[in-house]
Structure 1
Amino acid sequence: MMGNQIENFRWKGIGLALAGASLWGFSGNAAEWIFSHSAMTATWLVSVRMVMAGALLLFLISFHHNIFGVWRNKKDRFDLVVFSLTGMLGAQLTFFLSIEAGNAPTATLLQFLGPVFITLYFALKLLKWPKRKEWIAVLMALSGTFLLLTNGSLQEITVSEKAIFWGVLSGVSVAVYTVYPVRLLKQYASATIVGWAMLLGGSAVSIFTQPWQPNEIDWSFSLFGMLSFVVIFGTLLPFYLYLDSLKYISSTETSLLGSAEPLVATIVSVIWLGTAFGSFQTAGGMLIILTVFLLSMPEKGWIQVNQSLKK
């Protein structure tokens, strides 16, 4: 009986992680729809999305956690602000700018280069060559990126330069927000750190976008519904599902299941938005996803990918 209960819990965790990753995949396509059907910009969307999601998250967890504890220590305050403006805001803004300039599947796959940048960061920090597994992962990621962006031919660049630039930068930002807040996450609930980071990062962008001012956005019921989906079902809900999944399965398993995000993003984009993907691009995307699997395989070493702060 106990064994069956443990197995049921594990399947529950798998279901929660897959649901969260799938919602993130849908979210990217929803953002792409917004950009193509309105005058809304990536910076405007990011500012509103982060402020609303961060405020809602802090409100919900305030019933169970002391959300102001992180502000009592000077070092913690400094690290939180730096993380908010570099890691969280950087990952959010570059991801949506890549979608705005290209499409959701490509932006999502390029963001999955984050583990490769983490590997290179630790190699430089520790002055230690990566292990064979990590070298293979880097080569797989580079090969996958080449196929994804060129469809197998240098004569045929299938993605705009802006989309590539912001997509690669989003991978770097993912590495930053994965590595930088480790100390904070050991002292405070991850939901508290993420909530404040979203609120602070979104507020910083709002200084420039000023979403409260009149703009050229022609609001409709569809546009409002899609924006609400991005905030609630593309940000708040998947984060909660991710946290719940960690109660039943390991962070490594959750990271691996997170690879469902680019698959969902690609499938939804092809069916809903009519995005064309060549066979070489598909192969490239699979290589990038396999990179995450390879780096997440348990091994005695100094690098393990943990995407506990996804989107």
Structure 2
Amino acid sequence: MGKQENKDFSRWKGIGLALAGASLWGFSGNAAEWIFSHSAVTATWLVSVRMVMAGALLLILVSSHHNIFEVWKNKRDRIDLIIFSLTGMLGAQLTFFLSIEAGNAPTATLLQFLGPVFITIYFALKFLKWPKRKEWIAVIMALSGTFLLLTNGSLDEITVSKEAIFWGVLSGVSVAVYTVYPVRLLKLYASATIVGWAMLLGGFSVSIFTQPWQAGYIDWTLSLFWMLSFVVVFGTLLPFYLYLDSLKYITSTETSLLGSAEPLVATIVSVVWLGTAFGSFQTAGGMLIILTVFLLSMPEKGLVKVGGTVNK
């Protein structure tokens, strides 16, 4: 196999890994929706268990390659990690699942994709710099897509609850915080270490209030057990590793664009498996939001690059 063939194979391998990770995240949101509708499990309970278990497993796996305790030796790094854990990581996780609980997985996933728009607005305010034409177009596309997604083209036809909209939009804001805040830490430590600790700390903090060990009110069934296992392993741990592995073969921009497969998979699975009704205007709105991510990810000289974590 020649050099070009090796290069092509590596590229397609990276694309496959990124698509597989995004698809698993899409399935995961629907699995969470199934759990909420078929059991007494709440979003806060699921988030606490999911984050603690996934964070612990991630740290165990990465400990063979990195010193996972190194980040705790520096005071500034400790403080930044704790802030990121409670605002970025926990904020993004909790608001996303609360939106699913109040609405449905496709809507929550698409609203979370508004994150890049909030990042654009943040940097425009931070640097007091008027957004570029491309960024204005992206914001207008995102707002138009959100309107169509939530109303199906008519203000008289609000398709999801106000609570789902509130948590979904807040999820987009949390994704912006999650993406921007830990940039300094990610330059110093392995991303798996930072995400692992952030999941563990965020999960423990919400566990104080949810007390997941007191789960006597939950009617445990084999189906529920497997769904919970899927959300933790195949909806959190495995896609994160697939995402990281894909970065060895393709660029972060390409990986983020391929992440747009997540809402597409979430919508298809929701319609086929859960019987969620999706109108034509809602579908168009979802596509506009996804196209916004593509537009903002297009390289342009002078743009500020942020991010490096995986939000799921």
Name 2:261's counterpart in structure 1. 260
Mapping of 1:147-158 within 5 angstroms? 147-158=148-159
| 1:100-179 matched pairs, under 5 angstroms | 100-179=101-180
Taking a change above 3 Å as real, the CA distance of residues 214 and 147 of structure 1, as seen in their structure-2 partners, is closer
Counterpart amino acid of residue 286 in structure 2: G
Q: Which amino acid counterpart does residue 261 of structure 1 have in structure 2?
A: E
Q: Provide the secondary structure at the position in 1 that maps to 2:184.
A: helix
- 2:239 counterpart letter in structure 1: P
Q: Deviations along 1:125-172, whole A, 9 cap, x unmatched? A: 000011000000000000000000000000110010000000000000
Q: Kindly, what percent of the aligned residue pairs are identical?
A: 86
Shift of 1:214: 3.8
* TM-score, normalization by structure 2: 0.99
Letter of the aligned partner of 1:208 in structure 2?
A: F
Question: Aligned partners of 1:307 and 1:273: how far apart in 2?
Answer: 33
Alignment CA distance shift 1:50-1:236 (3 Å): same
Per-residue CA deviation, residues 239-293 of structure 1 (Å, 9 max, x unaligned), is: 0000000000000000000000000000000000000000000000000000000
Tell me the distance in 2 between the aligned counterparts of 1:68 and 1:14: 32
In structure 2, distance between residues paired with 1:275 and 1:183:
41
Corresponding residue for residue 210 of structure 1: 211
The aligned residue for residue 225 of structure 2 is 224
> 1:28 aligns to what?
29
Structure 1 residues 11-51: Cα deviation after superposition (integer angstroms, max 9, x where no partner): 00000000000000000000000000000000000000000
Deviation at 1:212, TM superposition (A): 1.0
SS in 2 for 1:236: helix
Conserved? CA contact 2:106–2:267, under 8 Å = yes
Instruction: Calculate the aligned-residue CA RMSD, in Å.
Output: 0.8
Counterpart of 1:190, as a letter, is S
Shift of 1:94: 0.1
How many residue pairs align between the two structures?
A: 311
Map of 1:12 onto structure 2 = 13
Runs (5+) with no aligned partner, structure 1:
none
Classify the secondary structure of the residue corresponding to 1:90: helix
Aligned equivalents of 1:233 and 1:51: distance in 2? Answer: 15
Could you tell me how far 1:304 is from its partner in structure 2? 4.3
CA distance in 2, matches of 1:287, 1:175: 19
Q: TM-score, normalised by structure 1?
A: 0.99
CA distance in 1, matches of 2:16, 2:311: 17
